[in-house]
Structure 1
Amino acid sequence: MSDLQRTWARSKLGLAHEPLGELEEEQETGQVPELPEHADDDSSSASSVSSTGTIIPTPSQKLFARPEGLTARRVARGRTLEQIPWTTYFERELLLKSNDDPEVTFHAHLTSPVDKGPLFVMHHGAGSSGLTFAVVGSEIRKHLPSAGILAIDCRGHGSTVSPEGTALDLSLETLSADLYFMIQSTKEQMSWKDLPSIVLVGHSLGGAVVTDLAKKGKLGASLLGYAVLDVVEGSAIDALQSMQTYLSTRPGGFATIQAAIDWHIRSRTVRNSISARTSVPALLRLDDGVDSSRPWRWRTNLAATQPFWEGWFVGLSKKFLGAKGGKLLLLAGTDRLDTELTIGQMQGKYALQVFPEAGHFIQEDMPEQTAISLADFYRRNDRSALVLPPKVSDLLKQGKKV
C-alpha cells in the first residue's frame, strides 16, 4: 500500500493518529487481535450466558461472527482477561437462610443506601447472576450517591446454595416469593428500621419476577416502581422455541476462567470487557470429573429448566401494565414490543426507552446509559421530592385569605 493510499484510508476511517499496519497484518493473517479494555458498546450481545428470556437473533445478526474491519482493529492492545472481584463494586455479600426452606441459602451483594436514599433491587436473568448488575450499579451511584444496590442470586444460580436436579424449583411463584424473602431478610440483617424506597429492576427472567412481585403488592408503599430490561411476553415466548438450539451452540466448558471471559467477548455475548471480567466468573464452577481439559462448567443447567420457561412469561404484559407503581421498559429494539405493550405505550401507561446500539444484555453492554435511565426513573417517581400545596385549614390559621 502506497503512502498516498494509507493517507486516504486514514482519513476515511478516522484513524489519523493510528497506524494501519495492524489492520494490514490482520487481513494477511486472518487472526483477530485482542479485544479492548472497554469493548465497543455499538453492537449486539446475544445473552449473558444466556438468559432464557433472550430474544434469539436472526441469522443476519451474525451472533457468532468474529469482529470485522474497524471493530476488529479496535480490540484492545494489551487488554487483560483477569477477573475483577465483586469487592470493586459492592460493600458486602449477604448469606440469607430461610427457616421455611432450610435447603436453600440465598446469596446477594449489597451496597447500602445512605440516609433516605433508594434501594435498587436487581434480579438477573436465567443462567446469569447478580454480578451482571455490578457495573451498572456502580454507575447508578455516580448519579445517585445515596442509592443502595441489592443484587441477588436466585436459586440455582451464582453462589446461592439450593437443591439440584428435579428438586430445583424455578417456578415464577417460587422465584417471586424468594425475592420478597431476600428483601425482607436484608432489612433484618442490616437492622434497618423500615424498608427504604425500592426500585425493582429485572432483566429477562428477572423482569418477569419483579413484575410478579410488584403485581402482588407485598412491598406496599415502599415500592416506588419497577424496571424491566429487554423482555416482553410475545417475543420471549417465541424465542423459547429456539432456545435448545441456541444452548447447543455454547461450549460445554472452558479450560480457564480467562478462556471463558474471552469466549463471551469474542462470541458477542458480552461486549463490554469490564463487565465480562466481573460477571462471567460467577457463571462457572470447577468440575474436574467431566472433562479435565475444560474443567470450568456452567453453574446452571439451562436445558434442565425447560419445564418452567413458558410459565415465566405467560401473562407478563398484562401484569406489567396492571401493577401499581412507576413502570419503565428498556429495550434493545422496538421490534420486541408486542401488541398489548404497544397499545399501553401509546396510552402513556409506562415509560419506554430503546437502546438500538445494545444487545439483549443492556445493563452489561451500556451500563452508563442504563444507569442514567434508572436514576431518572427514580427521580420521576420519588415521592419525597413532591412539594404539596398547603392545606386550607393551615392557611386560615395563619390569617391568610383563601
Structure 2
Amino acid sequence: MPPPPPRASRRHRDGFGVDDARGGRRASDENPTPIGAESTLMPPPPPPPRSHCDPVGWRECFDECHDVRVRGTNDVFRVYVSRPTTRDEGDSSDSTLPNDDDDDDDATVPVLFCLHGCPYTALSFARFAQEMKRRTSKRARCVVVAMDLRGHGATKTEDERCENDADADGAPGAAGVDFSAERLVADVVAVTTQLYGGTGRKVVLLGHSMGGAIATRAAAAMMTKAREDDAAREDAANPRARVVRVAGLVVVDVVEGTAVESFNRAEVAMAARPRRFACARTAIEWAVRAGGVTKNVHSAAASFPSQVPSDEASGSHLRWRTDVAKTRPHWDGWYAGLSKLFVEVKTPKLLLLAGTDRLDVDLTVAQMQGKFQMVVFPNASHATHEDEPGATSVGVAGFIERYVCRG
C-alpha cells in the first residue's frame, strides 16, 4: 500500500543452489527512542543536492543477488543477500563469511529475512542491510536476505507473464497477478523453505507495511507446520525434514487498526502520483521531496529506481513497476485480524513504529502486558528503515542479540 499523505500531529512526520543474476532521534542515528522518551522536533529536510539523487546499484549495499526458482513452478523470485563480516580480536580487517554452499559456513548465524511493503521492493532494505553489516557485533551477526514479492521488483511469476501476454494480445479476462495474502504467504513459505528448510538455521522474519502483514502470517504458518512435522524432524530416517525454524518476528510500522483507517488517504496518494518519470534522478528527487516514500535521499537512491524501471514499450520513460490499483481488492485481506495474530504468534516479537499514535487498542493492551518489544522512531515517516537505517539496525540487532542469538 502506498504511504498515505502526512497526518496532522504533534510530532513532525514528513544455501542457495540457485541461478546467479549477475536515522530514534535525528540528532543521533545510533539510538532508537524507546516509548516515553522525549523527542526533538526537527525541521523539514532541505531539498537534496542533485548529486545525491544519482541512482545507486544493489552492489553498494548487498553482497549477492540471486533468482530463486520455486521447485515445481515457473515462479522466479529475486533475493538479495548481505553477509556479516567477522573480525578477529586485534584484527581491523573484515572478511565476508563463506557462501551457504560451503561446508565450513557458520550455520549458527541466523538469517534476517526481509519483506517489503507495496509498492516497494527488496531494495527498500538496501541501506538497512548495509548498516546491519557495519554496526552489528559478533554477538548479533546475521545474514540479511531481502526478497522481491510477487508483482514487485525483479521477481517474475507465471500469473504476471500470462497477464502481460494477454495485455499485449488484447485478450480479455486475464486473471492478473494474485496479490492475495494467501498467495503472498505461500510464496514466502516456499522460498524460505527451499533455502533454509531442514538446515536448523534460525530465521527471523522482518516485514514493512504489507510485508509486515505477510511476515506475521508466514511466521504463524511455518510455526504451525513445524509443530505438525515434529515427528518427521525427529525421525532418524529423515533428520533434515524441510521445516523452517522461525526464531523471531519484526514488524515495521504496520498496525491493523491504523492501516485500515488509512485506506482512503492511501487511495488519494495513489491517484496523485506521477504516472511516469523522465529519468531516475527526477524520480528519486520526487520520492524524497513530494512522494512521501522516504526522507532519506541516500535510501531513495538505492531503493526507488527499482520501483520505477524503464518502460519497455517506450524505452524513454520510467514507469511504476507495480500497479497499486490492482492490489486494492486485497488490502482488507492483508490486514484483517493482524493485531490478534501478531500477539498470538509464539516467537519473540519486535514492533518498530514511527509514533505511538499508530497503536490500535489490541496492540496497546498487549504491549502493556509485555507480549512484545517495541521501539518508536518519532522523527521517521512510514518507511522507518529507509528514513533511519542506522537507528533501525541498532534496534533490530539488539533484539536479535537478546532474543535470538541467546535463545
Q: TM-score, normalised by structure 2?
A: 0.73
Change (3 A) 1:326 1:56: farther
Q: Distance in 1 between matches of 2:335 and 2:248?
A: 20
Closer, same or farther: CA 221–305 of 1 in aligned 2, 3 Å:
closer
C-alpha distance in 2 between matches for 1:73 and 1:274: 13
Secondary structure at the aligned position of 1:385 is classed as: coil
Partner deviation per Cα, 1:237-262 (whole Å, 9 max, x = no partner): 11113322111111111000111011
Given the superposition, is the C-alpha separation of residues 376 and 58 from structure 1 closer, same or farther in structure 2, using an over 3 Å criterion?
A: same
Distance 1:78 1:263 in 2: 12
Shift of 1:316: 0.2
Aligned length: 322
Distance 1:96 1:373, change over 3 A: same
Following TM superposition, by how much is the alpha carbon of 1:376 offset from its aligned partner in structure 2, in angstroms?
A: 0.6
Q: 1:348 aligns with which of 346, 370, 384?
A: 370
Whole-Å separation in 2 of the counterparts to 1:77 and 1:254: 18
Give the Cα–Cα distance (whole angstroms) in 1 for the partners of residues 349 and 201 of structure 2: 18
The Cα of 1:352 is off from its aligned counterpart by 1.0
1:101 partnered with 2:73: yes
Return the alpha-carbon distance in structure 2 between the equivalents of residues 73 and 249 of structure 1. Answer: 22
* 1:124 aligns to 2:112 (yes or no): no
Farther off after superposition, 85-94 or 157-166: 157-166
8 Å Cα contact 2:353-2:377 kept in structure 1: yes
Question: Counterpart in 2 of 1:208?
Answer: 213
Instruction: Give the direction of change, closer, same or farther, for the CA distance of 1:353–1:270 in structure 2 (3 Å limit).
Output: same
Structure 1 residue runs of 5 or longer lacking an equivalent are 1-50, 65-69, 387-402
Aligned to 2:166: none
3-state DSSP class of the match of 1:202? strand
What is the rounded CA distance, in whole Å, between the counterparts of 1:209 and 1:202 in structure 2? Answer: 7
Q: CA deviation at 1:57?
A: 2.6
Q: Deviations over 1:169-194 (max 9, x none)?
A: 11111111111111123348xxxx71
Distance in 2 between the 1:75 and 1:140 partners? 27
- Using the TM superposition, give the Cα deviation of residue 153 of structure 1 relative to its aligned residue in structure 2, in angstroms: 0.1
Maintained 8 Å contact 1:121/1:199: yes
Q: Tell me whether 1:143 sits opposite 2:149 in the alignment.
A: no
2:275 partner amino acid = G
- Structure 1 segment 281-360 matched on structure 2, within 5 A: 281-287=305-311, 289=313, 295-360=317-382
Displacement after TM superposition at 1:73 (Å): 8.4
CA contact (8 A) 1:122 1:152 kept: yes
Cα distance in 2 for residues equivalent to 1:334 and 1:286 = 39
Greater length-normalized contact order (CA 8 Å, ≥ 6 residues apart): 2
CA contact (8 A) 1:158 1:283 kept: yes
Q: Which amino acid aligns with 2:57?
A: P
Q: CA deviation at 1:84?
A: 1.1
| Structure 1 position 271, deviation (Å) | 1.1
Q: Does 1:278 align with 2:227?
A: no
Matched, 1:158 2:153: yes
* Contact 2:203 2:244 survives alignment (8 Å): no
Instruction: Kindly indicate whether the alpha-carbon contact (under 8 Å) linking 2:208 and 2:254 is maintained by their aligned counterparts in 1.
Output: yes
8 Å Cα contact 2:276-2:320 kept in structure 1:
yes
Superposition RMSD on alpha carbons, in Å?
A: 2.5
Query: Helix, strand or coil for the counterpart of 2:53?
Result: coil
Q: In percent, how many aligned pairs have the same letter?
A: 34
Name the counterpart of 2:394. Answer: 372
Alignment-mate amino acid for residue 58 of structure 1: R
Is residue 385 of structure 1 aligned with residue 380 of structure 2? Answer: no
Q: Describe the SS at the equivalent of 2:67.
A: strand
Residue 80 of structure 1: SS of its match in structure 2? helix
Q: Is the 8 A contact 1:55 1:235 kept in 2?
A: no
Contact 2:284–2:301, Cα closer than 8 Å, also in 1: yes
Does 2:384 match 1:362?
yes
CA offset at residue 63 of structure 1? 8.2
- Report SS of the residue matched to 1:285: coil
Do the aligned residues in 1 keep the contact of 2:204 with 2:247 (CA within 8 Å)? Answer: yes
* SS of aligned partner of 1:286: coil
Question: Structure 1 residues 179 and 159, CA, compared in 2 at 3 Å: closer, same or farther?
Answer: same
TM-score w.r.t. structure 1 length? Answer: 0.74
